[in-house]
Structure 1
Amino acid sequence: MKPRVEIIALGGTIACAPDSGASGVAPSLTGMDLVAAVPQLGTLAQIGARNLSNLPSTEIGLPLLFDLATAIRAHEDEGIAGIVVTQGTDTIEETAFVLHLLHRGSMPVVVTGAMRNPSLPGADGPANLLAAVACAVDPGCRDLGVMVAFDDVIHPAAWVQKRDTSSTGAFWSPAPLGWMAEERPALYAKAPPRTAFDIPQDAALPFVPILKPGLSDPPLLVDACLAAGAAGLVLDLAGGGHVHSSWLDPLTAAAERMPVVFSSRTRGGRVLSRTYGQVGGEIDLLNRGLQGSGDLDALKARLVLILALMTGAPGRFGEVTNLSWQPGDFETIPTRRP
């Protein structure tokens, strides 16, 4: 019997069709419509498909992702081989990461979408969907957490970023898990360490904004965020984590009241911790009670902080900031199939 894969559709470009009453396209195709467009899926698995929503990706929120994570757990309990989530690309790097932080199981969860809607020549949705299902049924993809399959590259959710507005190769990561070869995943790397959060059902969603200072930008938004009820702040700072001296007093005061995290707006490399000693450098910020985001960019750091706050343990933020492997970790790499 073929393995079973459940496709859970959320909407996005992959599900878009021309809107007869307006210009442009909008999500309207169902999960079953997506499956019908790729008959090769039936050679890989028994396919189930349903919609949890049919939205542009910017309309996806954390409550929807919590419902999705619950559905994923239920499907794993049923013995399904893997899950494929289809959605809009604008927020894939965030949604995949949230699901990764909520997923404790071994079952592959693969997120994909499309950059070109189905009405365009060279639409990439069918190929991406086929790749995602191939990953979902592959035994080598078990225990890797959540991944993003896009343009024949397999990215770990912890690293993936969208770096182009329209290219079919918009997604990037510094350490892809592998690539597609003849419609099968070829895995070359191990996924980053995993940390899972259990969110209480009655937990309130905290307000955690991202602030990105530019040249001569005064720190007025710090006080504005505090007045608006922020439970934490994430700063998207220059270089290795550096800010103008005029921001230091407001940030120091904020850090006495709530977690204040700083990341790098370069979105590449690790936030520094012991290199620059000037006023407003990362050493100064750490001495003032701020926290570095390690390997996380601002978008992902914000999500980790939100989940940590919702569990009532903001100190858990530091458990997720290091995505690299430590000495001895590679002894636990599972044996891959030939």
Structure 2
Amino acid sequence: MTLPRVKVVVLGGTITMAPSAAPGITPTLTGDDLLAQIPSLKDVAQLEVSTPFLKPGASLTFEDIAGLAKGFAQDDANGIAGIVVVQGTDTIDETSFLIDLLYAGDAGVIVTGAMRGASALSADGPGNLYAAISAAASPETRGMGCLVALNEELHAAASVEKMHKGLVSSFQSPDGGPLGYFLENRVRLLRKPVRRSTLKRQPSAFPSVCIIKPCLDENPALLNALPALGYSGVVIEAMGVGHVPQQVLEAIDKVVKDIPVVLASRVPGGPVYKNTYGFPGSEIDLISRRGLIPAGWLSPQKARLLLTLCLACGMNKSDIEAAFAHFD
């Protein structure tokens, strides 16, 4: 039997980190090094491995991920069955969603990493990588866009969040749980994600979009300064179901005249509301009266990514609202 072809792209992260001359662990291991730790992979897939660079997850860029997604489309056309991206967990919740928005191919893309370094007594990297490659090789993940494989669970890119700083069970999907599991060396899917939106254009440049998190008794000075600082859009990381302090409303009114403003929430579970509270600074006030765009179920980080891509594709406000409506 001919094994499926799986491409493995290693970008760095904790899974590649080992002690060095410097204090602490640093990116060290290449893709070949990682695969050599798991000889049983020879029975799972024909592997094509590359290590374009080794970076911590926090230092990845839009250009890094967009370049990968463009290459994945060509890989899909060339008969690759699945693709695995190995990277740092600091940004897996973001990069997986960015890939999901940019990539429209059928070959499944699985993003994985590790919470513990390669030299840890109970390193989780090899198990995560084995599960990710197995998932990428499985016909069950075809057409499902980008998934995240960690701790024997498979998550949708649009919903997965890093919920703990250090546990191997850090990654969870607050609304709905995992799509499935990797148990007894096989993928067991409970449901499939809804592929809500992919871009019809591939952007070549990425405008600056920031996240502002109003807190108790917030000073509006930073909001007032945003357009002058060169930002093309902003995500408000609001309280609760989509509320902000009354003292920042004047600043929001000024900003929304110049750049798109998206309303998300700092609370991990649930969507931004649209029709419940009516006081100044409530979601009805912000969306219906002041023109903010609701982020739906998206986290502030994911909302920033979607807004950035919308602006990069030259969308107007009604187009941006329609893009976010896919996630409501």
Same fold (TM over 0.5): yes
Deviation at 1:322, TM superposition (A): 4.0
Deviation at 1:200, TM superposition (A): 4.6
Name 2:320's counterpart in structure 1. Answer: 316
| Aligned ranges 1:45-124 → 2 under 5 Å | 45-124=45-124
Out of 168, 184, 194, the residue aligned to residue 192 of structure 1 is: 194
C-alpha distance in 1, partners of 2:235/2:78? Answer: 39
Structure 1 position 262 matched with structure 2 position 285: no
Deviation at 1:193, TM superposition (A): 2.9
**8 Å CA contact retained: 2:264, 2:300:** yes
Write the deviation string for residues 182-209 of structure 1: whole angstroms up to 9, x where unpaired.
01110001202331114455x4321111
Write the deviation string for residues 205-261 of structure 1: whole angstroms up to 9, x where unpaired.
211110001111111111221110111110001000001111111111211211101
Deviation at 1:321, TM superposition (A): 4.4
Tell me how large the CA RMSD over aligned residues is: 1.3
C-alpha distance in 1, partners of 2:210/2:133? Answer: 35
Write the deviation string for residues 13-35 of structure 1: whole angstroms up to 9, x where unpaired.
00111112x11010011011111
Out of 294, 309, 314, the residue aligned to residue 296 of structure 2 is: 294
**8 Å CA contact retained: 2:227, 2:259:** no
Q: Which amino acid aligns with 1:196?
A: T
Structure 1 position 177 matched with structure 2 position 179: yes
C-alpha distance in 2, partners of 1:222/1:124? Answer: 41
Q: Which amino acid aligns with 1:319?
A: A
C-alpha distance in 2, partners of 1:152/1:200? Answer: 33
> Any idea what SS the aligned residue of 1:54 has?
coil
> Any idea what SS the aligned residue of 1:95 has?
helix
> Any idea what SS the aligned residue of 1:91 has?
helix
Structure 1 position 135 matched with structure 2 position 135: yes
**8 Å CA contact retained: 2:196, 2:326:** no
C-alpha distance in 2, partners of 1:167/1:222? Answer: 35
Count of aligned pairs between the two proteins:
322
Write the deviation string for residues 53-87 of structure 1: whole angstroms up to 9, x where unpaired.
20001110000011111221121111011000000
**8 Å CA contact retained: 2:224, 2:254:** no
C-alpha distance in 1, partners of 2:324/2:226? Answer: 25
| Aligned ranges 1:234-245 → 2 under 5 Å | 234-245=235-246
> Any idea what SS the aligned residue of 2:235 has?
strand
Q: Which amino acid aligns with 1:127?
A: G
> Any idea what SS the aligned residue of 2:216 has?
coil
Write the deviation string for residues 117-167 of structure 1: whole angstroms up to 9, x where unpaired.
110111000000010011101111111110000000100001000011110
Q: Which amino acid aligns with 2:293?
A: Q
Structure 1, unaligned runs of 5 or more: 325-338
**8 Å CA contact retained: 1:96, 1:148:** yes
Write the deviation string for residues 159-180 of structure 1: whole angstroms up to 9, x where unpaired.
0000111100110013321011
**8 Å CA contact retained: 1:44, 1:134:** yes
C-alpha distance in 1, partners of 2:129/2:61? Answer: 23
Q: Which amino acid aligns with 1:91?
A: T
Structure 1 position 153 matched with structure 2 position 153: yes
Structure 2, unaligned runs of 5 or more: none
Write the deviation string for residues 76-122 of structure 1: whole angstroms up to 9, x where unpaired.
11101100000000000000000000110111000000001110111
> Any idea what SS the aligned residue of 2:51 has?
strand
